[in-house]
Structure 1
């Protein structure tokens, strides 16, 4: 066997090893960040929202750089710099790799050096993993995220730019697709979806523990937010559980703020009680029923 053949095999093994590293799926990409639930909400179901990122000192030693996280950018772009120089990174994009945090980290690094008017159409999902590329490496881990929700996408343009032609048409289509939404608590979002209204609440606790706590509340008949509401089910998103409630569509979002706080207190109490009070038979049956009510958000 010649040296050339051995070298070729070694090269193929090395390439396969790199490919395997790149393709390792990260089921909970935002773990370790205090902003994890908000990141998931903005990526999965919040239509039009922005939030300022808190960059790590290693990224912004002078403290003079600002980057705005966006639920979605024009054309589902990964990042852009507006004509006025404001930098944006988009969460809702067309393509993704096995590690969403790395995709976003690369887009963040790109936008820090981009010029006004530049657009990154898609995140870099093909380069080999490198050091200090993930959001956990680039943001202050314990910094909270305070999203600002918008009624439309006019923030895509700076105040001195008037959209025309295809840009104006794209903006019009995007605005027409927005479902009225409001943030009524940390990672808790009210949305009016036509004939129904919902509360979607991203919970940062272990999903199995959340299901147990929800089951305990269900047995106690404490799972609803009050009259004209019911627990609808839950879905998984990036490693966390998102419980969903159906709400009276005629009630305003602000009417659900206090009931959501009260439900949160009951849920916290139920979560704490699990440490020394395992589920009884009725609660286990309720948990199994809740598992059967998980669905996929479309």
Structure 2
């Protein structure tokens, strides 16, 4: 995608390390951080990518000099990657202790793929508090503490699983789910799911396939888990299911009639987040 393009970008995180995790942090995970670094051209600065910042700030140059970039913000243009890169570069330029509160509609310019060092792994840490908004030596005034505690109250229990990339267990009320962002093209994922669903194999031990989201050009299948399931209960069943799922994704033979019907049913249940 050219730097000066104004066309809509379906997969804004394509080409970044860990594209499915970028999507998960933007749309699914309430509180998490991940590692990134700008290229030498842009200062070789360490960046803490985060789900959200206070009052929906796009970015923050923390008092200790660390730059934080929030993903769960409203995009101003047709290219989320360009908007985020604009916020990041602005945050680098402002004084420590300053937030980038709004970016408006950025002019055509570099995207995250141009600004970030693509050799740096996107390593996600799910957080149970937004205390990381503050530098470690920041004084916790009563107002600051109250603001963090209020934000923490909206966090749902979420765990990043080890059995598969970009797979997240979460508890929503009295129900537990697995949400698993896929790196493959949408048609590949839907065909694979349809092959399994037609054979009644789209679920696995303790997990029932219930549908999928579409977000930032990727598919995020969702399984409802057995009531009361903890994250550790899902690891082995998911690991056992993975080869079967990968085989279905790799199958390029035409769908048969049952599989086509299954696929049509899946499409009818999809939800587009962004």
1:54 to 37, 42, 47: 37
Deviation at 1:285, TM superposition (A): 0.9
User: Which consecutive unaligned segments of at least 5 residues does structure 1 have?
Assistant: 1-19
Deviation at 1:81, TM superposition (A): 1.8
User: Which consecutive unaligned segments of at least 5 residues does structure 2 have?
Assistant: none
1:246 aligns with 2:224: yes
Deviation at 1:165, TM superposition (A): 4.9
Deviations 1:33-74 (A, max 9, x none): 2321111100101111111103333323xx5x2111111111
Residue 121 to residue 249, structure 1, CA distance change in 2 (3 Å)? farther
1:282 aligns with 2:265: no
2:127 to 124, 135, 150: 150
Deviations 1:77-117 (A, max 9, x none): 11112222221111112453211100111112122223210
What are the equivalent positions in structure 2 for 1:191-230 lying under 5 Å apart?
191-227=170-206, 229-230=207-208
2:17 to 25, 34, 41: 34
Partner of 1:58, secondary structure, is: helix
Q: 1:294 — aligned with what?
A: 270
Q: Residues of 1 paired with 2:112 and 2:175: CA distance?
A: 35
What are the equivalent positions in structure 2 for 1:91-110 lying under 5 Å apart?
91-110=71-90
Flag the structure with larger Rg: 1
Deviation at 1:157, TM superposition (A): 1.4
Deviations 1:163-221 (A, max 9, x none): 33543332122100100000013111111101111111111111111011001111222
The answer to whether the 8 A contact 2:26-2:72 is kept is yes
Deviation at 1:143, TM superposition (A): 4.2
- RMSD of equivalent CA atoms: 2.0
Deviations 1:214-270 (A, max 9, x none): 01111222211213x211101110111111111124121011112222322212111
Residue 255 to residue 86, structure 1, CA distance change in 2 (3 Å)? same
Q: 2:57 — aligned with what?
A: 77
Q: 1:182 — aligned with what?
A: 159
Q: Residues of 1 paired with 2:227 and 2:41: CA distance?
A: 47
Q: Residues of 1 paired with 2:200 and 2:120: CA distance?
A: 36
